[in-house]
Amino acid sequence: RKEVEQDPGPFNVPEGATVAFNCTYSNSASQSFFWYRQDCRKEPKLLMSVYSSGNEDGRFTAQLNRASQYISLLIRDSKLSDSATYLCVVEKAGGTSYGKLTFGQGTILTVHP
Amino acid sequence: NAGVMQNPRHLVRRRGQEARLRCSPMKGHSHVYWYRQLPEEGLKFMVYLQKENIIDESGMPKERFSAEFPKEGPSILRIQQVVRGDSAAYFCASSPPSDYQYEQYFGPGTRLTVT
């Protein structure tokens, strides 16, 4: 089983749509969680950290369920510029895994006019 | 405040040559991480360094790969005797010293092509 698994996608949605991505992780010792986005052949860019209480940043809402080891990202009112690959990322602090990020394979989102 | 800088952005090497990839972290960041993204694959952790120390190299191939982050100057990822399978995008990330979540910021990457 992969350490971080995401919806296979791709997602193809019209502008203005709401889209949700899911992610599960296998290591219960994981402590920090993030969503990154990666545009074609470019570096990953931090979208948002994910907290147990859930957090929102404009049109983006992230949720974490530690009991189910499940992370989600909701994008409301999709824009063309949201088209990218969305990466679910976990980090297990402490010991030799300190600072090591584990990435999911990514989910491709295409927003069309 | 400049972001993470990597150079070169593109590097072409013949099989058997050496590749040196450089990374300068963001100002104020003392932690550097290297990741590799093979074609059509996700990013994989390689190594985590602080100044003059390798903290975690669990993702580094056992042979031909080495990394350093000297007291002065950029972090270097060195690949000796490159093979075609080393062709990939190599990303460096940095983060500030922190006891909390380690938000890592990535550089633009070096795309290595081995011919």
β-pair partners for A57: A60
Note the pLDDT of residue B100: 57
Query: Quick one: which of A29, A63, A64, A35 has its CA closest to A48?
Result: A35
Given a cut of 60, whether residue A107 has pLDDT beyond it is yes
B residues 48..67 contacting A (CB < 8 A): 48, 55-56, 58-59
Q: Which amino acid is at A96?
A: T
Interface test with B, best of A64, A101, A107 (most B CBs within 10 A): A101
Looking at chain A, the whole-number percentage of residues with pLDDT higher than 70 is 95
Structure confidence at residue A31 (pLDDT)? 80
Q: What percent of chain B has pLDDT over 70?
A: 95
CA distance from start to end of chain A:
37
Q: What token pair was written down for A67?
A: 């009991």
Alpha carbon dihedral B77, B82, B88, B92, in 10-degree steps, equals 0
What pLDDT, on the 0 to 100 scale, is given for residue B111? Answer: 97
Out of A98-112, B10-24, B91-105, give the one with best mean pLDDT: B10-24
The answer to whether B89 contacts A41, with C-beta atoms less than 8 Å apart, is yes
B31: nearest CB among A44, A99, A104: A99
Q: Do B57 and B45 meet the contact criterion of CB atoms below 8 Å apart?
A: no
Test the A interface: residue of B58, B102, B103 with most A CBs within 10 Å: B102
How far apart CA A1 and CA B9 sit, in angstroms, is 34
Locate the chain B residue with the closest alpha carbon to A51: B101
pLDDT tens-place string over residues A43-62: 999 999 898 888 999 999 99
Mutate to test the interface with B, among A37, A100, A105 (most CBs of B within 10 A): A100
pLDDT value, residue B28: 85
What is the model's pLDDT at position A98?
63
Which of A49, A93, A99 faces B33 most closely, judged by CB atoms? A99
Do A102 and B45 count as a contact with CB atoms less than 8 A apart? yes
Does the CA dihedral A42-A70-A2-A29 come out positive or negative?
positive
Sign of CA dihedral A22, A27, A28, A29: negative
A74 vs A4, A18, A35, A54, B63, CA distance in Å?
18, 7, 11, 11, 42
pLDDT band at B102 (very low <50, low <70, confident <90, very high): low
pLDDT confidence of residue B1: 55
Residues of B in contact with A91 (CB under 8 A): 101-102
Nearest to A101 among B45, B58, B111 (CB): B45
Taking CB atoms and an 8 Å limit, are A101 and B104 in contact across chains? Answer: yes
d(CA A78, CA A17): 5
3-state DSSP helix/strand/coil percent for chain B, to nearest 5? 5, 50, 50
Distance to chain A for B23, nearest Cα, Å: 14
Q: pLDDT tens for residues B23-53? A: 999 988 889 999 999 988 889 999 999 988 9
Q: Nearest to residue A95, comparing CAs of A30, A24, A2?
A: A30
DSSP conformation class of A68: T
Please determine, for residue A96, whether its predicted confidence score (pLDDT) is greater than 70. Answer: no
pLDDT-based confidence at residue A20 (cuts at 50, 70, 90): very high
Q: Are B113 and B87 in contact (CB under 8 A)?
A: yes
Rounded Cα distance between A59 and A77, Å, is: 7
Please list, in sequence order, all residues whose beta carbon lies within 8 angstroms of the beta carbon of residue A102, skipping any fewer than 6 positions away: A3, A4, A25, A27, A30, A89, A90, A91, A92, B45
